[in-house]
Amino acid sequence: MKLSSSSGAGSVETSSPSHSRHSFRSPSDSPSLSSSHSSSGLPIGGQAVIEGVMMRNKEKYSVAVRLPSGKINVKTKQSSPFPQLFNVIFIRGMVGLGYMLKDGLDALVWSSNQQLGTDEQLSTKELFFTLSISFCFALLFFVGLPFLTAHLILVKGIWFDLLDGLFRIIVFVSYLLIISRMNDMKTLFEYHGAEHKTIYCYEAQRPLTIDNVRIFPRQHHRCGTSFLFLVVVISIILFSLVSLLSSLWWVKLSSRILLLPVIAGISYELLKLGDKFQHHRVFKLFLLPGLWLQKITTKEPSDKQIEVAMKALQGVVR
């Protein structure tokens, strides 16, 4: 996943939904697309989906998936409208991520259904329920487990929060390493790499051909993986401040949940700042851990996967 860094919150400011769908056969020679500018000149974000890629700017998003038959299906839809009322520093990150997740969920449902038969269609409600359960387990795994482990070691004050944060980083990286060995996740991470390479090619204003896309790196400084790493680091700092105010265990634990939107808002602004000053030496160091983590969450894509990512981008920039 890659976050778009526009004047609003990511790639989340648009108008009402409309929808179109196209079907493409897989050609031996993929079409080229001049990538100097999109129709609106807007920055692009995206994410990997089931057997495909979703590309998004604040006006619309496009999802391209490869079917079991070898065809590429593309769906283009207007992005969820982002209220300008919330286009305020720190607030825009919290609210914008919600709109971005909504479109990402729709794209995930559609991509999943493209791989299923007509009798096995997955609804948005079913996927939302599944993801809600997963979110609860994630809180237990990434918040509860590190907190309990640090609590059992009987350290206090800032040392407790540092140890809790260290355990959270270990759990997070271990989780990524474990799922990266699963075949389905390997494919997802390959599409993630294809998404990054294609966006890099577009941002470099190079014609979108497979040969051009392939030469670009698969790690991108604006990736959601980098955002998640920032969330972990910022949480250590904020939770340490909470410990200065209260030493009660239930206050510390509840703050780790209640402050998540605040942490997300701060992390978004830092990622946006890093994107603006990405060539500055200090910010290069600042972005480096997130790029290292992307060595896990992105893999080198095949030509066919790059072709799918190009089709997704084509749906947004034309």
3 assigned to some structural domain: no
**29 CB burial (10 A radius; 0-12, 13-18, 19+):** exposed
28 assigned to some structural domain: yes
Tell me the average pLDDT across 106-127. 80
2 assigned to some structural domain: no
**pLDDT tens, position by position, 224-233:** 999 999 999 9
Are 248 and 280 contacting, i.e. CB atoms less than 8 angstroms apart? no
Q: Is the confidence at residue 18, as pLDDT, over 70?
A: no
164 assigned to some structural domain: yes
Tell me the average pLDDT across 128-149. 89
Across the chain, what does the average pLDDT equal? 84
The structure tokens listed for 42 are 């807007």
Q: Domain of residue 224: give its range.
A: 19-317
- Residue 39: pLDDT band (50, 70, 90) is very low
Distances (CA, A) of 291 to 79, 128, 133, 196, 230: 28, 29, 29, 12, 12
5 assigned to some structural domain: no
pTM, two decimal places: 0.82
pLDDT value for 119: 56
Tell me the average pLDDT across 233-251. 90
Which region, left, alpha or beta, applies to residue 237 given φ > 0 means left and ψ of -120 to 50 means alpha? Answer: alpha
pLDDT value for 36: 36
Tell me the average pLDDT across 204-214. 95
pLDDT value for 278: 83
- Most confidently modeled of 98-112, 147-161, 206-220, 272-286? 206-220
- Percentage of the chain with pLDDT > 90? 55
- Residue 189: pLDDT band (50, 70, 90) is very high
pLDDT value for 246: 87
1 assigned to some structural domain: no
pLDDT value for 42: 64
The structure tokens listed for 8 are 């609003």
pLDDT value for 266: 94
- Nearest partner of 189 among 316, 302, 43, judged by Cα: 302
4 assigned to some structural domain: no
Tell me the average pLDDT across 130-149. 90
Q: Which residue is associated with the tokens 């700042």?
A: 273
Instruction: Tell me which DSSP letter residue 85 carries.
Output: G
- Residue 32: pLDDT band (50, 70, 90) is very low
14 assigned to some structural domain: no
* Structural domain count of the chain: 1
